[in-house]
Amino acid sequence: MTSVSLSSSMISFILLSPRPQKLILASIDIVFLFAVFIFTVRKLYSRRTPSNDGDSDANEPLVTKTTCFVKTSLWFKLSVTVSVTLAILATVLSVLGFMKNTETSWKLIDGICWLVQAISFAVVTFLVSHEKRFQSVNHPISLRVFWVVNFVAIALIASSSITHLISNTPLSKSCDLISSISLPFSAFLVIVSVTGSTGIIVTPESKPDEINKSSNVSGWASASILSKTFWLWLNPLLKKGYKTPLKIDDIPTLSPEHRAKKLSLFFEKNWPKPEEKSRHPVRTTLLRCFWKDIAFTGCLAVVKLGVAYVGPLLIQRFVDFTSGKRSSPYEGYYLVLILLVSKFLEVLSQHHFNFHSQKIGMLIRSTLITSLYKKGLRLSCSARQSHGVGQIVNYMAVDAQQLSDIMVQLHAIWLMPLQVAVALAIIYMYLGQSVVVTLVAILLILLLTFMGAKRNNRYQFNIMTSRDSRMKSTNEMLSYMRVIKFQAWEQHFNDRIQSFRESEYGWLCKFMYSIGGNMIVLWSTPLFISTVTFGSGILLGVNLDAGTVFTATSLFKNLQDTIWSFPQSMISLSQAMISLGRLDEYMNSKELEEGSVERHANCNDMMAVSVQNGSFSWNDDEDASEGETIKNLNFKIRKGELAAIVGTVGSGKSSLLASVIGEMHKISGKVTVTGSTAYVAQTSWIQNSTIQENILFGSPMDRNKYKNVIRTCCLEKDLEMMEFGDQTEIGERGINLSGGQKQRIQLARAVYQDSDIYLLDDVFSAVDAHTGSEIFKECVRGVLRDKTILLVTHQVDFLHNVDLILVSDVVLFLGQGQVMRDGMIVQSGKYDELVQSGLDFQALVSAHETSMQLVQTKSTEPETITKSPTGNTKENYNDTTKALDRSQSSAKIGTSKLIEDEERETGRVSLHVYKVYATEAFGWFGVILVLFLSVLWQATQMASDYWLAYETSEDRADSFDPLVFIGVYAVIAGVAFVIIIGRIIFTVYLGLETAQTFFKQILHSILHAPTSFFDTTPSGRILSRASSDQTNIDTLIPFMMHTSLVLHMSVISVIIITCQYAWPTVFLLIPLGWLNFWYRGYYLATSREITRLDSITKAPVIHHFSESISGVIMIRCFRKQDRFIQENVERVDGNLRMDFHNNGSNGWLGFRMEFLGSWFLCVSTVFMILLPSNVIKPEDVGLSLSYGLSLNGLLFSALIMSCFVENRMVSVERIQQFTNIPSEAEWVKKDNPPPPNWPDQGNLELRDLQVRYRPNTPLVLKGITLNIQGGQKIGVVGRTGGGKSTLIQVMFRLVEPTGGSIIIDGIDISTLGLHDLRSRFGIIPQEPILFEGTVRSNIDPIGQHSDEEIWKSLERCQLNDVVAAKTGKLDSAVVDNGDNWSVGQRQLLCLGRVLLKHSRLLFMDEATASVDSQTDAVIQKIIREDFANCTIVSIAHRIPTVMDCDRVLVIDAGNFLSFCRWKIGRSIWGYSVYGRPGYAKEFDKPSCLIKRPSLFGALVQEYASRSSGL
């Protein structure tokens, strides 16, 4: 025992005595200096000694020739400053040690020890400074160890010095003071040693363009720890936003670690391996990627929870202090200091928790969107159909957002029980067994809130279901608005959307009132729990003094938000788990089998495409063999061959091409493709970009090659007609192009890619005969003559010139995209061989020859026009050059954009927008009533606390009546409860009425908008207003405005009560108010613009996602997946940088505002402890503190809520923009209705008709004058893009005439209402549009006809057998855009609509473009029989279709061509015209036109002879 005590005494002497401590410190310094000396000598020796190794590090110069940029952060500067400071302090201590009046030996020891310390830190300063020259990112490990060990020694010395200072030991006070000061500086270096970072930022030297490109990277990327701690890295952006409205380019890009590409690769790396057999791969992967970040936010949440209870615990101490119960005169200052530090930590941890949780959510959203996009490009066709384009977009827009949002609420689930337990433990300390009643009350409120949240979740699900239906119907309406206006179905779609809205509104009302109920519980919680707790305390005999009651009320207020958020967090977690399940299902969906097609490079093998015993299905399930689409497919196509695929409508021609490029599920067989592939689909897929960008499709520009492609695809004339040539922007789905133009742009895109194998799906269906011949000669048999081509076509006359013909047998379509084949390829061979075989091909040829008989017997070729249509190739090439040069010059002097950048307001949301929203439903009465009820409720809250302070005062101790106390308190709580019920119910009602009014306004405005509005406005802009903006108005804005109002009143009440008792703080109100106002304006200037930019950048992400999924077959065929993935990444990063900086600015503001509130609280508390006890009483201190503790949170919440409201008011602003769209003419003119049977004759007269689409654009129709007698059949022919479809649009007044007039049966159509006009006409549009629904709803959308009439109509249009074979008959499903029907079948269904309508005037716009000659002949026969007495205007590219018309009208470039005199031109489209355009005598019978020199005669002659001439 003696030896043990001796040892402990020795250790105590060494560790606790000043002089041994200094010797320990000196020993550490000497070891460090010796290590530095050895390293230096070794380095110098190695430099002077020659080395055989030329690459030795020792041979490197002392200062390297760097090619990097080196920057130092604040962290580096602080490290140097602290090292210098410690060296100076040690020097001072050394001087004082030598000067001390004590024993010589100890004086020398003190002086030498501190001198060694000074030298050590001088060396440290040199080393740290020298690290910049060596571009050292991390401190050496030896230096970091020295700092830690040195800190331990200094901590021992400082502890002894502090002990001496407190006990007034007669030693050197100056030395002890300086030693104590050294401790925090040394502690800082310990932190530096732990982090290891020097604060030096090294970036590789970049090229000038790279520097410019990366110069605007987020400040987060290079921020120091201090900068990140206090959000200093946001200062430059906030400063810029305050000076001028921010633009997209002003927002910095994300730092590298936050970018979508890196996150997506990290996600793929952590995806579970197949052998792991993970049931929830998405959840597993996200946890693997982000578990460290989630754990970090969990630590922040624990810190926040711990310091949140310091304030309530101090209330009793402050009350005791003011009542005279104090242990020290300075105790009050200690308490204030503790309060300030705890508030600082609370504020800092709270906002870092929010910021980092939002950052994790942002990273998860970025990761998921990019990963979902990549998956979408790999999905098999059946998987894509089973999910649907809309549903896949929902995974990205809804489910990814759901998982992002849960991050903020995730920790509340496990923190809530802990927070309640701590609060109850504290309450037990003060109120004893009353805590049981408190627990019961809390559980009751939790139960009510949980039941409410569960009910809200159910209502929200129903709202989302109804909203999805409404948005689906709205999207469909916007996609096919032109067809809807043609058919005058606006009212039908209005009623349909309104019915979905009524269902949504019903659930919305229940949801809003249910949320209101939860808010009533939330706002009543503190008073309710206080009433039952204090009541039970009185019954149990607990002494209720000021400290006790106000500590309890403060704790109850702390629990308010926790009780509110916990149930919602549970519901959100449940929703997130559902979203994870949906994403698991999607990410596990079947992908396209890359190995189904053997692809070889362009080798010496002469076989380009080979299919052996191939059986294919669109269904890739296990039972796919039962639903074979194509079976027993066998053919071989040699390199350079042109193979044609022919067959009747729905015979599987397009499916055959899909099987070759690997888009179908291969059941059996072998497919071999040698070389690259290019695909031109039957249904055009055009991107929303310029014509040039569509053609290049990501390939580099080769000007000569590009010009040649434009020429061979017959696009020169189109580019000349367009104001901006190939720089013209194409609208969504090519809405501003004709069908022929879209098809030729698709073809040009394929030709420009210079692939080896071309798959062309009916490319001639949408172009006129002349253009078709030109394309076949110049493109198919011209630039592609050495390529392998698979051509699906109905143009039999081209088949003479092909190497191989494949004849597809009849098929039967069943269900949604599933097909049952009765046959296969039944014939293949040369044209003459197949004709002689007398099988299916002979039937197709016979139908074509029958239609050509009239052409061949009546055609006469005028001598003046025998010149080849091709003309001089050099001159055509020069024309192309001129057109392109013109497009470039036009682009310089004007804008080529059809889709203009979205309009956005800048600066503050105007007060007019607030006024419109607030007064839309009930005027100013509603506003005043809400304000009055809010003031009244806040008064009851203050009254309850004043009553507590009054009853618990020392003056009332003797006369305290428990029954009166609790009775009055309960009455006040009851009154507050009644007032809040009235306030919330009226607020909800006001918000619902306002939302419904706005919805009706925007729907009315959109339905009445002219077609030009839809041509220039992407549907995404309208949909974003109908979805997210309307949702903000439906649910968020009412409650946010209400909450903002309540919070501002709460702040005012806190300030009133605080200033009432600590009156000197009144002087702080002006600076506090000014800072609050200034910070709000400073922050909001940036936040508001970022919110607007966020809305603008979000739509392109969704649009590109849906556009890519729709065109995925094209993307995969051209092998452009990487380019599209990169574009998706860029759009995601562009949108999420808005989120990141907005969240950062919230943290920046929140920390500053809450800390400002904490300073105000602490200053007012100082005044309260300074004021004498006769001025301020203990109960007043308790009341003031119970209010003041929430000031920092209230101040920030009120401010951020007001900013949130202003940001969401942008939705009102955006909807207001679309409620003021210029409207088209009236639908119905009640004062001028047409006669009931109008038009009864069908006489049609055009008088000098002129049309342009928009002001300041060229005329499209340039003065057409003609007269059509009732009952006549008029054929309209002309070059594609020449204005034929425009003629029909102006008849329906989709485009209003610029000049002239249209008279039908004596009535000028401009005097009629639009519905009166359009509903009397029949039309088969150029694009056969089917709506999602059933066969019945498509053929008779209004529901005016019986089943018998519908069946009769289907029989007449040749679809009776097809529909009858389906299980649902007339109720058989039609998917979105009719994708489970062939294009030809869709056109036949459109014909069925017209047959039901029995219109006197019928317009046909390429009604038979996508059907074979045999089906065309049947349709023409039906039209002749069923519309014998009707006036028919038929646009056609097939000459036989118009040969039996009574008259033919030829249009080119908007002119009604006259041919009374001729001049020879380069081509048949180049003849000059004498006389005024629209001269009536040139509008004549086809038989007359072909007997004299005419353009129509030339067309007929060319069409008749092109088979032999090709």
DSSP labels, 713-770: TT-HHHHHHSTTGGGPBP-GGGTTS-HHHHHHHHHHHHHHTT-SEEEEESTTTTS-HH
Question: pLDDT band for position 285 (50/70/90)?
Answer: very high
Give the pLDDT mean for 246-267.
Answer: 90
Report the distance separating Cα 690 and Cα 898, nearest Å. 9
**Contacts for 400 with CB less than 8 Å, ≥ 6 apart:** 364, 365, 368, 369, 372, 579, 583
- Which pLDDT belongs to residue 212? 41
The SS3 call for residue 377 is: coil
Closest of 1277, 1278, 1392 to residue 1328, by C-alpha: 1392
Size of the chain, expressed as the number of residues it contains: 1510
Closest of 853, 863, 1000 to residue 921, by C-alpha: 1000
The SS3 call for residue 636 is: strand
- Classify strands 1273-1278 and 1261-1268 as parallel, antiparallel or unpaired: unpaired
Closest of 1358, 1410, 1432, 1413 to residue 853, by C-alpha: 1413
pLDDT in tens, 754-807: 888 899 888 877 776 677 778 888 888 888 888 888 888 877 667 777 777 766
User: By the 8 A CB rule, do 163 and 17 touch?
Assistant: no
Percent of the chain with pLDDT strictly greater than 70: 79
pLDDT in tens, 1368-1427: 788 887 876 677 777 777 778 888 888 887 788 888 877 776 666 666 777 777 777 888
Residue 1239: cis peptide before it, omega within 30 degrees of 0: yes
- Which pLDDT belongs to residue 1184? 76
The answer to which of 201-215, 568-582, 651-665, 1374-1388 has the lowest mean pLDDT is: 201-215
- Which pLDDT belongs to residue 8? 46
pLDDT above 50 (res 1318): yes
Token pair in block for residue 1239: 């038009």
Closest of 1182, 935, 938 to residue 1061, by C-alpha: 1182
pLDDT in tens, 1259-1274: 777 778 888 888 888 8
The answer to which of 74-78, 254-258, 414-418 has the lowest mean pLDDT is: 74-78
pLDDT in tens, 562-607: 776 776 677 778 778 888 888 888 888 888 887 788 888 766 677 8
- Which pLDDT belongs to residue 107? 57
**Contacts for 698 with CB less than 8 Å, ≥ 6 apart:** 1120, 1123
Residues forming beta bridges with residue 616, ordered by sequence position: 630, 666
User: Which parts of 606-736 fold into alpha helices (H)?
Assistant: 653-660, 691-696, 703-712, 716-721
- Which pLDDT belongs to residue 822? 42
pLDDT in tens, 1202-1247: 877 877 888 888 888 888 888 888 888 888 888 888 888 888 888 8
Handedness of CA 1048, 1053, 1054, 1055 (dihedral sign): positive
pLDDT above 70 (res 852): no
| Strand ranges of the sheet holding 1299-1304, from the earlier edge strand across to the other edge | 1261-1268, 1244-1251, 1299-1304, 1307-1308
| Strand ranges of the sheet holding 1321-1324, from the earlier edge strand across to the other edge | 1321-1324, 1401-1405, 1431-1435, 1273-1278, 1447-1452, 1455-1456
Closest of 909, 925, 900, 1003 to residue 1212, by C-alpha: 909
Q: Check residues 308 and 810 and name the one with the higher pLDDT.
A: 308
Angle between helices 1121-1170 and 235-243 (to 10 degrees): 90
Report the distance separating Cα 1003 and Cα 996, nearest Å. 11
- Which pLDDT belongs to residue 842? 54
- Classify strands 642-646 and 804-808 as parallel, antiparallel or unpaired: parallel
- Which pLDDT belongs to residue 442? 84
User: Which parts of 1171-1223 fold into alpha helices (H)?
Assistant: 1178-1188, 1191-1218
Percent of the chain with pLDDT strictly greater than 90: 5
Q: Check residues 1126 and 1442 and name the one with the higher pLDDT.
A: 1126
Question: pLDDT band for position 1141 (50/70/90)?
Answer: very high
Q: What share of the chain is helix, strand, coil (3-state, %, to 5)?
A: 65, 10, 25
Residues forming beta bridges with residue 729, ordered by sequence position: 690
Question: pLDDT band for position 1321 (50/70/90)?
Answer: confident
- Dihedral pair phi/psi, residue 1018, rounded to 5°: -60, 145
Report the distance separating Cα 694 and Cα 948, nearest Å. 74
User: By the 8 A CB rule, do 576 and 403 touch?
Assistant: yes
Handedness of CA 1457, 1460, 1461, 1467 (dihedral sign): positive
Report the distance separating Cα 1027 and Cα 474, nearest Å. 10
- Which pLDDT belongs to residue 99? 66
- Which pLDDT belongs to residue 1144? 92
Token pair in block for residue 233: 């890295």
Question: pLDDT band for position 1279 (50/70/90)?
Answer: low
pLDDT above 70 (res 834): no
Handedness of CA 1018, 1222, 1253, 1225 (dihedral sign): positive
- Which pLDDT belongs to residue 831? 55
- Classify strands 788-792 and 757-761 as parallel, antiparallel or unpaired: parallel
pLDDT above 60 (res 207): no
Token pair in block for residue 1449: 């009208």
Token pair in block for residue 11: 């250790």
Instruction: Fill in the DSSP letter of residue 1065.
Output: G
The answer to which of 31-40, 241-250, 680-689, 1196-1205 has the lowest mean pLDDT is: 1196-1205
Question: pLDDT band for position 850 (50/70/90)?
Answer: low
- Which pLDDT belongs to residue 367? 93
Dihedral Cα 1499, 1503, 1509, 1510, nearest 10 deg? 110
Q: Check residues 1281 and 483 and name the one with the higher pLDDT.
A: 483
User: By the 8 A CB rule, do 1503 and 855 touch?
Assistant: yes
**Contacts for 128 with CB less than 8 Å, ≥ 6 apart:** 76, 79, 80, 83, 139, 143, 198
- Which pLDDT belongs to residue 1453? 56
The residue to which tokens 């578990």 are assigned:
291
pLDDT above 50 (res 23): yes
Report the distance separating Cα 110 and Cα 26, nearest Å. 10
Report the Cα–Cα distance between both ends of the chain, in Å, rounded.
Answer: 118
User: By the 8 A CB rule, do 570 and 998 touch?
Assistant: no
User: By the 8 A CB rule, do 410 and 569 touch?
Assistant: yes
CA atoms within 13 A on the CB side of 1493: 14
Q: Check residues 197 and 145 and name the one with the higher pLDDT.
A: 145
Residues forming beta bridges with residue 894, ordered by sequence position: none
Handedness of CA 560, 561, 567, 570 (dihedral sign): negative
pLDDT above 90 (res 1455): no
Question: pLDDT band for position 366 (50/70/90)?
Answer: very high
pLDDT in tens, 1031-1074: 888 888 888 888 888 888 888 888 888 777 766 677 777 787 78
pLDDT in tens, 342-355: 888 888 998 999 99
- Which pLDDT belongs to residue 843? 57
Give the pLDDT mean for 164-192.
Answer: 69
Closest of 1088, 1099, 1084 to residue 1028, by C-alpha: 1099
pLDDT above 60 (res 1470): no
Q: Check residues 1090 and 1439 and name the one with the higher pLDDT.
A: 1090
The residue to which tokens 């317009």 are assigned:
1403
- Which pLDDT belongs to residue 1412? 64
What is the per-residue DSSP string for 1273-1317?
Answer: EEEEEE-TTSSHHHHHHHHTTSS--SEEEEEETTEEGGGS-HHHH
pLDDT above 90 (res 360): yes
pLDDT above 60 (res 1160): yes
Closest of 947, 1094, 963, 1100 to residue 1018, by C-alpha: 1100
Report the distance separating Cα 1094 and Cα 1081, nearest Å. 20
> CA 1094 → CA 19, 248, 1099, 1210, distances in Å?
65, 9, 9, 11
pLDDT above 80 (res 698): yes
> CA 59 → CA 465, 571, 889, 1303, distances in Å?
73, 66, 60, 96
Across the chain, mean pLDDT equals 77
Q: Check residues 1174 and 341 and name the one with the higher pLDDT.
A: 341
Q: Check residues 735 and 467 and name the one with the higher pLDDT.
A: 467
The residue to which tokens 């001087």 are assigned:
95
User: Which parts of 955-1065 fold into alpha helices (H)?
Assistant: 962-1007, 1011-1016, 1019-1024, 1030-1031, 1037-1061
- Which pLDDT belongs to residue 888? 46
Report the distance separating Cα 448 and Cα 1143, nearest Å. 32
What is the per-residue DSSP string for 1090-1111?
Answer: HHHHHHHHHHHHHHHHHHHHHT
Q: Check residues 113 and 1142 and name the one with the higher pLDDT.
A: 1142
Q: What global pTM score does this model have?
A: 0.69
Report the distance separating Cα 91 and Cα 87, nearest Å. 6
Give the pLDDT mean for 42-62.
Answer: 50
